[in-house]
């Protein structure tokens, strides 16, 4: 029931994403055009060729990219929370997004590499960022409580972001484009969608396949080992899959924060804490959330646009504070 309901919300949000925009197009005509895109269905929407092109070449790929990126960030956040058994773990806070952003910036600014190499570079940076945060949290923050890892991630994020800012100065003429990328952008078109899709499929399937294993790990390593689960191998697999998901999202959309912490917590509140439920619902819920966030970004100050990262931070920052307070109350 939860899955069906989540898919319904996603469908409604995607249709709303197609309806919203600066161009004034009849909602009924948009719905008819969407029906006409279905296989073996032919419906006359009455839209002019220019309007059809706007829907197919601009709005549709933007909605699809937002859905894929949102789903990846949310399921990656759920995966990180399961691996570290920390409710505050998040791609943005653990240094994964900052690491992916740094290596992506290096490739764009300093290395004349093909576009297909960007996700690979982002993956290396994402894994490196999480590794640095994990090592720093373990060596410098013993006994610091559940927020120690997040504090280490914040430090790593600040450090990597400072390096990224320094590298950007080598191409001052592209600062506007880089700045737009840092604040998040899902308007890359079909090229961006087809670029991220293979990585999204692989990382999502890997994470979904480990839902039961994460449930077993939640009871402790010794109990998991007694049940035949190799805790180290499971953690490594989930960590790599979550980092791949984060890297793919960052490579095509830039740095979009708080999706990976907001959506998994909402899912847990509504549907329970089993990762067999949290992972798929986070994937669907994250997709719907970012599509709606992009719709707000495109319409709130139309015809101008807000960076989508501004919208997610506006929602996510108060939510993060609330989660932090609940976590501290639970710890005490």
The string of pLDDT tens digits covering residues 95-111 is 888 888 888 888 877 77
pLDDT attached to residue 279: 94
Residue 33 in tokens:
């055009």
Name the CATH superfamily, with its identifier, for domain 2-331: ABC transporter involved in vitamin B12 uptake, BtuC (1.10.3470.10)
Burial class (CB in 10 A: 0-12, 13-18, 19+), 189: middle
Evaluate whether 277 touches 9 at the Cβ level (below 8 Å): no
pLDDT at 253 over 90: no
User: How many whole angstroms separate alpha carbon 290 and alpha carbon 155?
Assistant: 26
Residue 210 in tokens:
């480990």
Identify which has the larger pLDDT, 53 or 224: 53
What element of type H or E holds 93? none
pLDDT attached to residue 141: 56
- HSE toward the beta carbon, residue 155, CA cutoff 13 A: 15
pLDDT at 310 over 80: yes
Instruction: At 48, give phi and psi (nearest 5°).
Output: -70, 160
User: How many whole angstroms separate alpha carbon 151 and alpha carbon 102?
Assistant: 19
User: Over pLDDT 90: what percentage of the chain?
Assistant: 21
Identify which has the larger pLDDT, 330 or 266: 266
State the sign of the Cα–Cα–Cα–Cα dihedral 123, 321, 183, 265: positive
User: How many whole angstroms separate alpha carbon 160 and alpha carbon 188?
Assistant: 25
Instruction: At 11, give phi and psi (nearest 5°).
Output: -60, -45
**Where residue 13 falls among pLDDT bands split at 50, 70, 90?**
very high
User: How many whole angstroms separate alpha carbon 228 and alpha carbon 33?
Assistant: 52
**Where residue 41 falls among pLDDT bands split at 50, 70, 90?**
confident
At 174, is the secondary structure helix, strand, or coil? helix
Residue with tokens 């994402």: 126
User: How many whole angstroms separate alpha carbon 288 and alpha carbon 184?
Assistant: 16
Threshold 0.75, pTM exceeds: yes
* Residue 81 C-alpha from the chain's centroid: 14
Residue with tokens 């600062």: 175
pLDDT attached to residue 58: 86
pLDDT attached to residue 235: 84
pLDDT attached to residue 197: 92
List the alpha helices (DSSP H) in the chain. Answer: 2-19, 27-37, 49-54, 60-84, 96-109, 117-140, 148-168, 175-182, 190-209, 211-217, 221-226, 231-253, 259-271, 275-299, 308-331
pLDDT at 254 over 60: yes
**Where residue 331 falls among pLDDT bands split at 50, 70, 90?**
low
pLDDT attached to residue 198: 92
pLDDT tens, residue by residue, 163-209: 888 887 777 666 666 677 677 788 778 888 998 899 999 999 999 99
pLDDT at 144 over 80: no
pLDDT tens, residue by residue, 58-81: 888 999 999 999 999 999 999 988
What is the distance between the terminal CA atoms of the chain, rounded to a whole angstrom? 35
Kindly report the average pLDDT of the chain as a whole number: 83
**Where residue 149 falls among pLDDT bands split at 50, 70, 90?**
confident
pLDDT at 231 over 60: yes
* CB count in 10 Å sphere of residue 270: 13
- The contacts of residue 143 (CB under 8 Å, 6+ apart) are none
pLDDT tens, residue by residue, 277-287: 999 999 999 99
Domain spans, the chain: 2-331
pLDDT attached to residue 263: 92
């Amino acid at each position: 029931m939860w899955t069906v309901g989540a898919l319904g919300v996603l469908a409604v949000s995607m249709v709303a994403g197609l309806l919203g925009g600066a161009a004034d197009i009849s909602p009924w005509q948009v719905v008819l055009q969407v029906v006409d895109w279905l296989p073996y269905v032919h419906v006359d929407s009455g839209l002019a060729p220019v309007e059809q092109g706007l829907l197919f070449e601009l709005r549709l790929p933007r909605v699809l990219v937002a859905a894929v990126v949102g789903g990846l960030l949310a399921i990656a956040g759920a995966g990180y929370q399961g691996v570290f058994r920390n409710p505050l773990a998040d791609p943005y806070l653990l240094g994964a997004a900052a690491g992916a952003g740094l290596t992506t910036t290096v490739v764009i600014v300093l290395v004349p590499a093909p576009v297909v190499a960007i996700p690979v570079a982002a993956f290396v940076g994402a894994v490196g960022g999480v590794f640095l945060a994990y090592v720093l949290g373990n060596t410098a923050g013993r006994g610091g409580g559940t927020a120690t890892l997040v504090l280490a991630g914040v430090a790593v994020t600040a450090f990597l972001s400072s390096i990224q800012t320094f590298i950007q100065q080598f191409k001052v003429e592209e600062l506007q484009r880089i700045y737009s990328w840092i604040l998040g952008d899902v308007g890359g078109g079909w090229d961006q969608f087809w670029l991220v899709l293979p990585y999204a499929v692989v990382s999502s399937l890997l994470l979904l396949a480990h839902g039961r294993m994460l449930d077993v790990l939640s009871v402790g390593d010794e109990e998991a080992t007694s049940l035949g689960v190799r805790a180290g191998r499971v953690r490594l697999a989930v960590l790599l899959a979550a980092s791949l998901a984060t890297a793919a999202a960052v490579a095509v959309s830039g740095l979009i924060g708080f999706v990976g912490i907001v959506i998994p917590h909402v899912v847990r509140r509504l549907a329970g804490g089993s990762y067999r439920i949290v992972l798929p619902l986070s994937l669907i819920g994250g997709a719907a959330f970012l599509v709606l966030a992009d719709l707000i970004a495109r319409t709130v100050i139309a015809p101008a646009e807000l960076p989508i990262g501004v919208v997610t931070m506006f929602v996510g920052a108060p939510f993060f504070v609330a989660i932090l307070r609940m976590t501290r109350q639970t710890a005490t």
